[in-house]
Amino acid sequence: MDRFRLATIERRGRRQTALVLGEGDAERLFPVAELAPNRPALHVELAELLGWWDEARLALRALAEGVDEPAAGLRADDPSLRLLAPIPAPRGVFCTVFNYYDFAAEVGAPRPDKSTIRPYICTKLPNCVIGPGEAIVLPHHTDRVDWEVELGVVIGRTCRGVFARDALDYVAGYTIVNDLSARDGPRADWPNFGYDWLLSKGFDTSSPLGPYLLPAEFVEDPHRLGLRLTRNGTLMQDGNTASMVFNIQEQIEFLSGFMTLQAGDVIATGTPAGVGWPRGIFLQPGDELVCEVEGIGTLRNPVVGTVMLVPPPLQGTAYA
């Protein structure tokens, strides 16, 4: 069977799931509600389908196999639809930091020794997530925002205390994450604390996600995927998931060892070399970032400057 991908779209005022068939110029989207008008349980966005993923994926696969005219679908730029992040508001994006050997070497860190360390993970909240084509808004508290193309792992079944050997059974599929980071996060304003991860990674629009979810059944080995990122057309990152320190199974085992992972949670598995930090290059208004992960698609986002909301002055109050 030819593979398919999945998208969350907004069409005619409703959010829903679409099948994505074909590649390149032949890529077309098919709203699931139109393919299966008599199956209202499927007429929802992808995040809801993940709540019963084991059954839903079989239904989606049957629909994909039943499409007789792949060219009859909608283009992603069709004006009748808006392409959203496949999971527009995940409970959390769990970011595994310093998880590529080549990244550690690039920034001058010691080579990670898995026998003495554990995965280091921080969390992004739903306010961080934007979809393809949406603007990255540079925050006012920093002028050193950096890019990080990453493979995103989308959980498809609630799990707790999973062993690494079983971990991939709980993965619904894969997407692209751009884990934007403010590199001037370390601030010693409080004693006994080091890096301020909330300021570094938790600002609005700091986690572009998408454009599609590629079901896990179509990924032979998630640790052999190419990752690329360009800034204004210039190649900045060109790596491979083979350089991960802790593989996906180990990350899921670690996280599920102390917390329950839920369907729709996203794990951003780390970034390869090629970030701007070691070169002193950071995002500027007018930039465009394009992320690619082999087999998933292309995630494109423009960059705009800080949006400052100034309240109107109180009556009788003058500002200097």
Q: What is the pLDDT of residues 231-250, one digit of tens each?
A: 999 999 999 999 999 999 99
Q: Is 157 helix (H, G, I), strand (E, B) or coil?
A: coil
d(CA 263, CA 266): 9
d(CA 241, CA 283): 24
CATH architecture for segment(s) 93-304: Alpha-Beta Complex (3.90)
Reported confidence tier of residue 311, pLDDT bands at 50, 70, 90: low
The pLDDT tens digits for 2-37 are: 799 999 999 989 999 999 999 999 999 999 999 999
Torsion of CA 63, 64, 66, 67, to 10 degrees: 120
Give 230's strand partners.
235, 290
Q: Tell me the domain boundaries of the chain.
A: 5-84, 93-304
Task: Enter the tokens of residue 111.
Answer: 């080579």
d(CA 111, CA 86): 34
Give, rounded to a whole angstrom, the gap between the first and last alpha carbons of the chain.
68
Specify whether the CB–CB gap between 8 and 15 falls below 8 A.
yes
Sheet with 234-240: strands ordered across: 136-137, 297-304, 288-293, 226-231, 234-240
Q: What is the pLDDT of residue 318?
A: 40
d(CA 218, CA 159): 22
Residue carrying structure tokens 């110029």: 25
104-130 average pLDDT score: 94
The pLDDT tens digits for 154-205 are: 999 999 999 999 999 999 999 999 999 999 865 556 666 667 888 889 999 9
Please state whether 17 falls in left (phi above 0), alpha (psi between -120 and 50) or beta. Answer: beta
